[in-house]
Structure 1
């Protein structure tokens, strides 16, 4: 179990990778429409297997269409 800050909220998780965390938070892993940043750096989808560490700051950002 580790403690992360996700979208400004401190939470504990058993997730060990970015992909597992996204699936835990969203309940599924969508194909598109959002981005993940780890400690302020965007993580490309191809690198979502990247391990998480205690204390990481994760931002999950969804695209919003407007006009």
Structure 2
């Protein structure tokens, strides 16, 4: 299925979860926040939140600095 992650089209297997999308994009899970179709998904729901065709996923990674 096709989903948009941070504005770029990605092919994911049908039934892929938010956690799988995050791992595909970043390879990490710490310091990351996710929204699907403009709704924040709590970290505890990443494994149970399945993505569907044409979902829009935003993955934000915290960075240190000042």
Do they fold alike, i.e. is TM over 0.5?
A: yes
User: Shift of the alpha carbon at 1:5?
Assistant: 0.6
Structure 1's consecutive aligned runs of 4 or more residues displaced over 3 angstroms after TM superposition are none
Structure 2 equivalent of residue 64 of structure 1: 63
Could you tell me which runs of 5 or more consecutive residues in structure 2 were left unpaired when the two chains were aligned. none
TM-score, normalization by structure 2:
0.82
How many pairs were matched up?
A: 64
What does residue 5 of structure 2 align with? 6
* 1:39 counterpart residue number: 37
Whole-angstrom distance in 1 between the partners of 2:65 and 2:38? 25
Q: Which runs of 5+ in 1 are unaligned?
A: none
Q: CA deviation at 1:61?
A: 0.3
